[in-house]
Structure 1
Amino acid sequence: MEVLIGLNVSTLATFLVVFYAVYYWYKRPGSYPPGPRGYPLVGVLPRLGKYPERVMRKWSRKYGPVMSVRMGRNDWVSLNDYSSIKEALVKQGNVTSARPDFPAHQEVAHYHGILFSSGDLWQNQRRFGITTLRECGFGKRSLEERIVEEVSYLNDAIRATMGKPFEIMAKLGNAISNNICSVAMGRRYDYDNKRFKDLVAKVSWRFNHPRAARYFSLTLFEPLLIKVPPISTYNKMQISNRDDMFSLFREIIDEHRATFDKENIRDFIDAFLERMAGNDPHFTVTIYEFQLLVFLRDLFIAGTETTTSTLRWALLVLLHNPGVQDKLRNEIHKVLGFVTAIMAHRESMPYTRAFIEEIYRYRTLTPLDLFHETSGELNISGYKIPKNTVIIPNLWAVHNDPDVWDEPSKFKPERHLDEKGNFVQSKHVIPFSVGPRHCLGEQLARMEIFIFLVSMVQKFEFLPDPNEPNL
């Protein structure tokens, strides 16, 4: 009898422990938005699949556009329509502009740079970045002139293929990276220059290794994975890649220091060195030097890969839709002939603008944006989101909202034209995000995409490789 009583007590205790563990797991604050909880310890991670943005949009149809999701052991908030993203990132941008403290970011950047920094450092450096890029007519050459110059080198590289099938990624990457070089370092490089080739290889490393990119994404959802093989091995490779990139940057910065003239600010590095010499009370020289290295890394990685990928998607769409390519080329020839495009021509090219706008919508390059974190209480849709909560803006959901877009899975430039054929800008296309942390290089990216795309379609017809059956 005593044995039976002991077993019953033990069974009851086990049941109570399990009951309270499950109760605690599924319990959320009363003011928190509803959403899927997933499984104990791992949350919804096993259910996200290859396209978490699509899974979250599907869940939001059940729980609402403002939705909580249990990521590992923490509750995050996913925003899945334009209204909620605008409310959080624009109207309450003062409390949603911090970045989460992810080890995968901070082991590389140590809270510096522009992409993943927060607080006073981010605000200070963003103001500097906006002002510097806006005034980047260094050496009396405008940003647009630099892009137009690079177009000719890209076209020459394409012509050199003599009409034979080729992979365009490297050529586009070279051209876009050279634009960043021109802005940041005051010069462009020949595509076969060793320093330039080394830099491009370092910039594109993670994006050319799908497994590394996948592992990095997993660490955003579960930071502890950064210590687990094989992810830990790739993380060490990422840090080594960063160190190599910093070595290249230090050589170039030292060259700038040796020739620095405060009366002749040539580029972004010069502008930064001038500020370092100004004895800003907020930062020591040591902090500034590391900040410049990370800032340059952020400019190259964010400024090269996104624009290159957008142009590659545009060309792939043209291969799949030869009629669209013909229509685009006809408008370009009608407006420009063979004159080189500049941004002022956009107003006379509604179909070209509609095509580019549809590329932004159709292929969202950062489907879940860069994650945000609340620095105070966020009040949205009747919910109270506490401080230090990760916010996930689902840009893909905005671009594929069936309540806004007819047949969102189809590529249709005409959806951005009115009945008279005029281009119509939509607030529901936000490829560069919105609010205080929208993309710093948006102006540069839009300029590059327009000028490069128009120039390539103007001068070349892009056709599928006849020996490659799958596009």
Structure 2
Amino acid sequence: MINIKRPSETFMKLSKQYGPVFSIQMGGVKMVVLSGYETVKMALIDYADEFAERPHIPMFEDINKGFGVPFSHGENWKTMRRFTLSKLRDFGMGRTTIEDRIVEECGFIVRALESLEGKPVDLTIKTNFAIGNIIISIIFGHRFDYQHPILLRLLGLISENMKLVGSPSIVMYNLFPIFYYVCGSHGRVMQNIKDIHNFLRTEFVERLKELDRDDQRGFIDAFLVKQEEEKLDPNTYFHEMNLMSTVTSLFMAGTETTSSTIRWALAYMIIHPEIQRRVHEEIDRVIGSAQPRIDHRKNMPYTNAVIHETQRFANILPMDLPRETTRDVTFQGYHIPKGTYIVPLLESVLYDETQFERPEAFYPEHFLDSKGAFLKKAAFMPFSAGRRSCPGETLAKMELFLFFTSLMQKFTFHAAPGVTSFQVKPSVGLTSPPSSPKICCRPRS
């Protein structure tokens, strides 16, 4: 009954038959699926406290042991989320300091693509490196060269795990934990996590040798300083496992989703050359040959609309990360017990026909008013909403605008020679990165 490779497709069909709130038994898990903007918004925002927990999912419990931010619980989650948000802001999120780092990284990826002289390329590795370097600079305080073996290895492990944890075999393991004994992907995921943690432990030891509480270089330094301050507290949350899980989550969440969105955007430019032409015209008119900066965004409604429409249409995280009820709740006439597994179907929000005129089409005008000014939409929820919304939303929005405009300023994007029908499809994984042929990045004259 369920499309295990893409369960959201099945849930979308079931919601049309059974309405915006329905339950389904998947293995040993009874899930309540919420669909449509009004229902999901009511749950995540109006009933934020009641839908604020995260269920205990076998694969993620194995990875995080209940620590970190995305899949932790109770006071541990509150403390780590508060600290992480605070330090992301301290190290530049939403400020000029991080904008300068992003602008610098835009220069590196532009030069890397210019060196190809228009030859076909798979942009996955290069966009992962560029976006990965931003989160690395926040965590460590410096970037890596694109050929650096540590960067190659680290981002390779992260990319593989993002695919594996959303694979059918892991989905089956989460529903039927007995599958642990036959799920080969599980062992691969855990080995990758072990390799990431070994690298991080080495990095922590090296940083402790030069740690200066008055000159903190990045997130890790800030955590280690806090750990030292609370070392005599037996109940402290600032210990190695929380550091490991938090940093690993920052890598995974801070790289793959934004990198995938940029690749989706460029693929849509190839599919819709008229939209690409209009973006080029707006960039030429507003920015010219100057370096794109975040201040340009307010004068670029069409480009901003294209980026928002990419996030809506690409639907990177169609089922959100699951929630769990913190107490018994009566919701839209239904009694939902404490501890119920909740699926906020983000795809149903981003494709809600009551909120978007042409939900099944790539249509930037969804985010433009009749005069061509940028139009905010309440149903634009790619970062989720409420207590468990994405803590890196501000950073991701800045990255998307600066990378997209910098690439579009310098290049025109085309299908590779010989490709008569350029098609792009979502890949299987925890997120939905694009699977497409190689593309050509031709320098603009």
TM over 0.5: yes
The corresponding residue for 2:177 is: 224
Aligned-partner Cα distance in 2 for 1:202–1:117:
22
1:84–1:380: 8 Å Cα contact kept in structure 2?
Answer: no
CA drift of 1:212 comes to 6.7
1:108–1:239: 8 Å Cα contact kept in structure 2?
Answer: yes
Aligned: 1:250 with 2:201: yes
One-letter identity of the residue aligned with 1:150: E
Deviates more, 1:393-402 or 1:276-285: 276-285
- Following superposition of structure 1 onto structure 2, how do residues 450-469 of structure 1 map, counting pairs within 5 Å? 450-469=401-420
- Following superposition of structure 1 onto structure 2, how do residues 424-443 of structure 1 map, counting pairs within 5 Å? 424-443=375-394
The corresponding residue for 1:13 is: none
- The alignment's C-alpha RMSD in Å is 1.9
SS class of match (1:56): helix
Cα deviations by residue, 1:266-303 (Å, 9 ceiling, x for unpaired):
11011111111121787657961111011111000111
2:264–2:314: 8 Å Cα contact kept in structure 1?
Answer: yes
Aligned-partner Cα distance in 2 for 1:437–1:212:
20
Aligned: 1:70 with 2:70: no
TM-score, reference length from structure 1: 0.86
Aligned: 1:203 with 2:158: yes
SS class of match (1:379): strand
1:218–1:225: 8 Å Cα contact kept in structure 2?
Answer: no
1:203–1:300: 8 Å Cα contact kept in structure 2?
Answer: yes
CA drift of 1:373 comes to 0.8
Q: Identify which of structures 1 and 2 has the higher relative contact order when contacts are C-alpha pairs closer than 8 Å and 6+ apart.
A: 2
CA drift of 1:469 comes to 3.7
Deviates more, 1:142-151 or 1:62-71: 62-71
Aligned: 1:128 with 2:128: no
The corresponding residue for 1:80 is: 35
**Higher gyration radius (CA):** 1
Aligned-partner Cα distance in 2 for 1:249–1:400:
40
Aligned: 1:176 with 2:131: yes
One-letter identity of the residue aligned with 2:346: L
2:27–2:176: 8 Å Cα contact kept in structure 1?
Answer: no
Aligned: 1:411 with 2:362: yes
Gaps of 5+ in 2: 423-445
Aligned-partner Cα distance in 1 for 2:186–2:144:
30
TM-score, reference length from structure 2: 0.90
Aligned-partner Cα distance in 2 for 1:448–1:238:
28
CA drift of 1:374 comes to 1.0
The corresponding residue for 1:143 is: 98
The corresponding residue for 1:316 is: 267
1:103–1:226: 8 Å Cα contact kept in structure 2?
Answer: no
Aligned-partner Cα distance in 2 for 1:63–1:265:
54
Q: Identity percentage over the alignment?
A: 34
One-letter identity of the residue aligned with 1:261: D
One-letter identity of the residue aligned with 1:463: H
Q: After TM superposition, which residue ranges in structure 1, 4 or more long, deviate above 4 angstroms?
A: 280-287
CA drift of 1:345 comes to 1.2
Cα deviations by residue, 1:193-252 (Å, 9 ceiling, x for unpaired):
11121111111112456x9733233334x14254242x2x21011111001001111111
2:384–2:390: 8 Å Cα contact kept in structure 1?
Answer: yes
CA drift of 1:339 comes to 1.3
CA drift of 1:58 comes to 2.0
1:104–1:223: 8 Å Cα contact kept in structure 2?
Answer: no
Aligned: 1:388 with 2:339: yes
CA shift in 2, pair 1:347/1:271, >3 Å: same
Task: Report the count of equivalent residues.
Answer: 421
Aligned-partner Cα distance in 2 for 1:299–1:283:
26
Gaps of 5+ in 1: 1-45
Aligned-partner Cα distance in 1 for 2:388–2:100:
27
